[in-house]
Amino acid sequence: MKKEWWHDKVAYQIYPKSFYDSNGDGIGDLPGILEKLDYLEELGVDILWISPVFRSPMVDNGYDISDYYAIDPMFGTMEDMDRLIAEAKKRNISILMDLVVNHCSSEHPWFQEALKDPDGPYGKYFYIMDGKDGQVPNNWRSYFGGSVWEKLPGYDNKFYFHSFAKEQPDLNWENPKLREEIYQMICWWMNKGLGGFRIDAIMNIKKDLTWADLPADGPDGMADVYKVSQKVHGIGDFLKEMRQRCFDPFDGLGIGEAMFLEEDVVKNFIGEKGYFSSIFAFEPCHAYRKGKNYKEYLWPQPFDDWRKETANNQKMLGDIGFEANIIENHDQPRGSSLFIPKEDYGFYSVTALATIILCQRGLPFLYQGQEIGMCNREWKLEEFNDVETMSQYEICLKEGLSPEQALEICANHSRDNARTPMQWSHEINAGFTGGEPWLPVNENYKEINVEDQEKEYGSVLNFYKRLIRFRKSEEYKEILTYGTYEPRYMDQDHIFAYQRCLESKKLTLICNFSSQPSSVTLASDYENVVFVNYEQTTVIGADLQLRPYEVVVLEN
């Protein structure tokens, strides 16, 4: 496998609105990130993905961009962004921005022009179609619920297409002019010295141009739009072009938000010269998503499915390429709430989860607050902010749940859980802002915050620092990066285990992911215990004794 600059790095996602507010308006901003760069360097972060900070009406918190060449004043200025890139570079941190090019905002001048003249050049930047006698052109359902079609204001029978909210019209990638605009924009940013981009919702850019109805999959008679991307061919032509034009010349890192890849195409996506450098490993951390609505999601994440999906993914990838491994992001509940039953939450469970993820093959991708064990918050309905959560709440009610049940389900699964302000200290508002935070802080900030954990040797934060140092240590870096991955003890309840091998070196991770003691019989002698979350590993005969949520990494 050809070695790339980013293979042995550790990445971290920032949701800027909730990271750190420098000016007291209650909203995190770029100068706030600048202030925390030393913290991130100290943690061991090499790559920083910043969720969108472009000019936006913020219907979907910046995933609706109205000017790709401007920073939203809410976050600061272009000078702040330039300074952030430069200051990060000094600390050997590469910045990835968020590339949202499946759609833009309905306030983008392109769309405004399209509204004025749907048949003109900008009309062709979007998908504007005639309806069927004033009815929508087909039965596809958008990700956030409701039809993907919205009536073009001022017309009786013209509709535009949106995979997400109606304020996020999809861009027409079939139009070479549009693609050209996008490529120029990406290169403009890359020339500023970015390390690359995380690429949003990219599997949606290829549409089924027959626009044929899909078999209904719900009582509304509609079918989920993601099924279209699973069915159509030809997306590779766009992606290859984008890579060659925008990423290759800069040796840039492109991390795709792509999922449900089949074995035969993985190579095209993330193999050598693949469309992306890497994609997120969603399958293992979406194992709870058994249906399309929160209502059908399981809670918490079923251990067996998580373990199985991880093994499948790792096997499918082999040494073709690397996925980016996560337990959470801004679209998910908190990993430490999702993976760990509530009554088991604590130092050992949180650090066990961390170790399992960070020792896997792939690029470890932390999400802000994960490193201190931030978890879900208790919600009142009126406190939610997220568009998706609102629509999911309505769906629950429509399907006959009581308001209490609907609230409970949304409280578990809402994306707002990941978006509560970062907990910097035990001061008011968790030290996130001197003003009124845009979203409520989690009340547990007095126990869970950076400042206190920095001072406490045995904290989750200091564990993460040690874990990252272990991952990047001269001795184990090669094997943890390039070593093969073999699942182990798959038939033993609640044991998450795997072996990494590189040449004659072998590391075995064994974790008892449960609140009950357990043990496994070691297959061979080991030389060293190289990483643990408890003191003193106990082996009796060939049996490794494991306390609740104990994880050990052995060198064989």
Cβ 253 to ligand GLC shortest distance, Å: 17
Residue in the shown chain whose Cβ atom is closest to Ca ion:
29
Cα separation, 536 vs 519, in Å, equals: 15
Give 339-345's long-range contacts (Cβ < 8 A, gap of 24+).
Answer: 339/300, 339/301, 339/306, 340/300, 341/300, 341/515, 342/300, 343/515, 344/514, 344/515, 344/548, 344/549, 345/373, 345/375
72 annotated active-site = no
Cβ 134 to ligand GLC shortest distance, Å: 28
Residue 331 binding: pick among ligand GLC, Ca ion, none (C-beta 5-8 Å cut-off by kind): ligand GLC
Among 6, 15, 29, 369, binds Ca ion (CB under 5 A): 29
Residue 21 binding: pick among Ca ion, ligand GLC, none (C-beta 5-8 Å cut-off by kind): Ca ion
Residue 60 binding: pick among ligand GLC, Ca ion, none (C-beta 5-8 Å cut-off by kind): ligand GLC
Q: Tell me how far apart the terminal alpha carbons of the chain are, to the nearest angstrom.
A: 24
Residue 317 binding: pick among Ca ion, ligand GLC, none (C-beta 5-8 Å cut-off by kind): none
Amino acid at 49: W
Residues numbered 134-193 forming contacts with ligand GLC, rule: CB under 6 A: 164
Selection from 490, 487, 493 nearest residue 508 by Cα: 487
Residues numbered 250-269 forming contacts with ligand GLC, rule: CB under 6 A: 257
Selection from 16, 15, 70, 77 nearest residue 185 by Cα: 70
Give the residues across from 49 on adjacent strands.
13, 96
Is residue 60 part of the contact set for ligand GLC (CB under 6 A)? yes
Is residue 328 part of the contact set for ligand GLC (CB under 6 A)? no
Alpha helix segments (H runs only) across 214-299 = 226-231, 235-242, 263-270, 282-285
Cα separation, 124 vs 135, in Å, equals: 21
Q: Which residues contact 72 (CB under 8 A, 6 or more apart)?
A: 53, 54, 55, 56, 58, 62
Interface with ligand GLC: number of residues (CB under 6 A): 9
Active-site position among 72, 257, 386, 388: 257
Q: What's the angle, vertex CA 109, arms to CA 108 and CA 113, rounded to 5?
A: 125
Cβ 26 to Ca ion shortest distance, Å: 7
Cβ 329 to ligand GLC shortest distance, Å: 7
Is residue 77 part of the contact set for Ca ion (CB under 5 A)? no
408 annotated active-site = no
| Residue 243: Cβ within 10 Å count | 17
Among 10, 15, 21, 182, binds Ca ion (CB under 5 A): 21
Among 48, 100, 114, 356, binds ligand GLC (CB under 6 A): 100
Cβ 105 to ligand GLC shortest distance, Å: 10
Is residue 25 part of the contact set for Ca ion (CB under 5 A)? yes
Q: Would you say 103 and 142 are in contact if contact means Cβ atoms under 8 Å apart?
A: no
Cα separation, 207 vs 218, in Å, equals: 21
Quickly list DSSP for 364-417: EEEETTGGGT-------GGG---HHHHHHHHHHHHTT--HHHHHHHHHHH-THH
Is residue 434 part of the contact set for Ca ion (CB under 5 A)? no
Quickly list DSSP for 125-145: GB-EEE-BTTB-SS-EEPTTS
Rank residues 21 and 200 by Cβ distance to ligand GLC and give the closer one.
Answer: 200
Rank residues 167 and 550 by Cβ distance to ligand GLC and give the closer one.
Answer: 167
Residue in the shown chain whose Cβ atom is closest to ligand GLC:
63
Q: Which residues contact 497 (CB under 8 A, 6 or more apart)?
A: 487, 488, 489, 508, 509, 510, 511, 520
Selection from 421, 424, 425, 391 nearest residue 409 by Cα: 391
Rank residues 32 and 137 by Cβ distance to Ca ion and give the closer one.
Answer: 32
Is residue 63 part of the contact set for ligand GLC (CB under 6 A)? yes
Selection from 440, 433, 435, 461 nearest residue 449 by Cα: 461
Residues numbered 196-255 forming contacts with Ca ion, rule: CB under 5 A: none
Cα separation, 394 vs 220, in Å, equals: 13
Cβ 497 to ligand GLC shortest distance, Å: 31
Residue 23 binding: pick among Ca ion, ligand GLC, none (C-beta 5-8 Å cut-off by kind): Ca ion
Active-site position among 21, 64, 200, 386: 200
Among 4, 82, 241, 331, binds ligand GLC (CB under 6 A): 331
Cβ 32 to Ca ion shortest distance, Å: 6
Rank residues 18 and 105 by Cβ distance to Ca ion and give the closer one.
Answer: 18
Cβ 164 to ligand GLC shortest distance, Å: 4
Q: Would you say 517 and 500 are in contact if contact means Cβ atoms under 8 Å apart?
A: no
Cβ 201 to ligand GLC shortest distance, Å: 4
Residue 164 binding: pick among Ca ion, ligand GLC, none (C-beta 5-8 Å cut-off by kind): ligand GLC
Q: Would you say 500 and 506 are in contact if contact means Cβ atoms under 8 Å apart?
A: yes
Residues numbered 200-229 forming contacts with ligand GLC, rule: CB under 6 A: 200-201
Is residue 27 part of the contact set for Ca ion (CB under 5 A)? yes
Residues lying near ligand GLC in the complex (CB under 6 A) are found at 60, 63, 100, 164, 200-201, 257, 330-331
User: Looking at the annotation, which residues are catalytic?
Assistant: 200, 257
Residues lying near Ca ion in the complex (CB under 5 A) are found at 21, 23, 25, 27, 29
